[in-house]
Structure 1
Amino acid sequence: MRDFTDVGVEVRGGTLAVRHWPGAPGAGTVLAVHGIASNGLSWAAVAEALDGVEVIAPDLRGRGRSGDVTGESSMAAHADDLLAVLDHVGVEQAVLTGHSMGGFVGCVAAQRDPHRYRHLVLVDGGLGFPVPADMDIDQVLHAVIGPAMAKLDMEFADRAAYHAFWAAHPAFAGLGGEVVRAYLDRDLVGAEPHLRSACRAAAIREDAEDELRNPAVFAAIHHLRVPAEMLWAERGLRDEPTGLYPPEVIEAAAPTTVATHFVPGVNHYSILLGAAGAATVAGHLRAAVACG
């Protein structure tokens, strides 16, 4: 396992928790942004595969150990927080990557502050798809992320019970090991037998509204001012045969300025948490770091 430190970064509304894997001098930096109901340790397997490269992975406001950070949550708010993280760690320019909702954060951040990001790698996220205007955002979230939303209303007697909850998720079949256990444990707060998810429901709802219904967020991927690429998983959020982004959507909607790469044999979660997916993502990030 790589050495790491956990640091706190002051942002509007509180202290952002950040996992920091130091790198070799001059080897470059990756700033990694997680998904809507996740935390920074979703990037741990990728960080392990990027040994030697500095990796910085915050828990976004309202998630993980940043669950107590107050105030509005939006793609723009997260982009502001990312700048605070870079300034705190003393990094002038990084390769930016985002998974799922983190891809939308990445697009907004790279569009707004291109001088701080040398390359953007989107991982199964960042390309918008509209949802019905008359559909309640909770309905949308339950339909799209399912158990990740259901967990917000649940309590767990111990960590093993929470691990078992996710082990039953079809997209987590075959995933395990210390990396996954640490990622799940970081999402728990409270004390046994009343453990619950650290995710703040209001932050998830605010982000979902912004991610799924804000035209400016949709447009960000089409107006990037840094080199960008998108990796898209073959399979879906529940390990469905068709991924979050079907091939026809990639072909029709992805801008020609963003290179797209199909990643076979992985789903929306295992593209980061599985060994094969993490190695593929790390390979693209290492190439992006080397390009500068």
Structure 2
Amino acid sequence: MDGQAQQQEHTGHEADADRRAARRAYEDTGVEVAGGRLAVRRWPGRPGAGTVLAVHGIASNGLAWTRVAEELDGVEVLAPDLRGRGLSRDVAGTSTMALHADDLRAVLDHFGVARAVLAGHSMGGFAACVAARRDPARYSGLVLVDGGLGFPVPDGVDIDAVLHAVIGPAMSKLEMTFADRAAYHAFWARHPAFAELHGPDVAAYLDRDLTGKEPELRSACRAEAIREDAEDELRNPEVFAAVHELTVPARLLWAERGLQDEPVGLYAPDVIAASGLAGEGVPPHFVPGTNHYSLVLGHAGARVVAAHVRDAVGAALAEHG
């Protein structure tokens, strides 16, 4: 097959996936939590097929899980916008992994879910670890997606400087305004990690991160919530320890490339090897050909994540019925 034919086949697969994503029914719901109402995107599933509670990253929103949810057709997927992000922007109060864990439990209670598989991307992995460590009876499995394994930051280092260095444009957007949605989409199209990320589901994910009116649209992420979570994620010993103290089955998926598509990902191979996770019952799984974002927002990455999540759901159903 020549290059042109391969590209046409690839484009066809992408278009088919986008059409499938557009067909899966969903609903948006508000869940009462301390400080307000948490917005939750729910993709209903078949009775008895299990539930996944999906937790997004530090400057993201619940629609980051759209492509994974599409691959999990039949499984109920609950994807909240964490407090201070997306449609949960106005939930009042501080933002920490422990408070996110409380919010996640409230989501399960609202939908009457006794036990769920937790999936956490990036910072969502840290929140998921804390939630699973605190409430093991509510979670039957944990899939960490390029997150959950900590990097302590010394007290003297400025958190904003760390955030700008690590997440780059995702931090810069908090200080910017955009004339319209197209301008915001163009901002992300220039992001090196988004070069191959496109389609209506990615556009909807970006639109969910906008607030205000044209010509002064802004990111819906509250800067103070980002900073509070970063302080907790990067400096709280209890948060670092959570991934090493899990009592529910867990696994870590780690992307080949980084947050700005650097050749070495957030977790370098030597970091994974030195983490000790495999010996603690949290096997790491390398996902080649993906970066930190495409691991959930890209079709190929979403298929890998969904396969691991479906495996965790199946194992939980087999054990607990």
Structure 1 position 130, deviation (Å): 1.6
Give, as a single letter, the amino acid of the residue that structure 2 aligns with 1:221.
Answer: V
- 1:156-235 matched pairs, under 5 angstroms: 156-235=178-257
**Structure 1 ranges of 4+ moved more than 6 A:** none
Q: Secondary structure at the match of 1:131?
A: coil
123, 126, 132: which one aligns with 1:110 = 132
Structure 1 position 72, deviation (Å): 1.1
Structure 1 position 254, deviation (Å): 4.0
Give, as a single letter, the amino acid of the residue that structure 2 aligns with 1:97.
Answer: A
Aligned to 1:279: 303
Distance of 1:246 and 1:170 partners within structure 2? 19
Q: Secondary structure at the match of 2:94?
A: coil
129, 138, 143: which one aligns with 2:160 = 138
Select the structure that is richer in helix. 2
Q: Percent identity?
A: 73
- Residue pair 1:127, 1:254 contacting (<8 A) in 2 also: no
Distance of 2:56 and 2:249 partners within structure 1? 20
- 1:1-292 matched pairs, under 5 angstroms: 1-255=23-277, 256=279, 257-292=281-316
Give, as a single letter, the amino acid of the residue that structure 2 aligns with 1:242.
Answer: V
Distance of 1:254 and 1:168 partners within structure 2? 37
Segments of structure 1 that go 5 or more residues without pairing to the other structure are none
Distance of 2:231 and 2:61 partners within structure 1? 19
Deviation readout 1:185-242 (Å, 9 max, x if unpaired): 0000011001000000000000000000000000000100100000000000000000
Distance of 2:276 and 2:224 partners within structure 1? 30
Q: For the aligned residues, what is the CA RMSD?
A: 0.6
Distance of 1:174 and 1:202 partners within structure 2? 31
Please report the TM-score for the alignment, with normalisation by the length of structure 2.
0.90
Segments of structure 2 that go 5 or more residues without pairing to the other structure are 1-22, 317-321
Please report the TM-score for the alignment, with normalisation by the length of structure 1.
0.99
Deviation readout 1:42-70 (Å, 9 max, x if unpaired): 00000000000000000000000000001
Determine which structure has more spread, i.e. the larger CA radius of gyration.
2
Most deviating of 255-264 and 111-120:
255-264
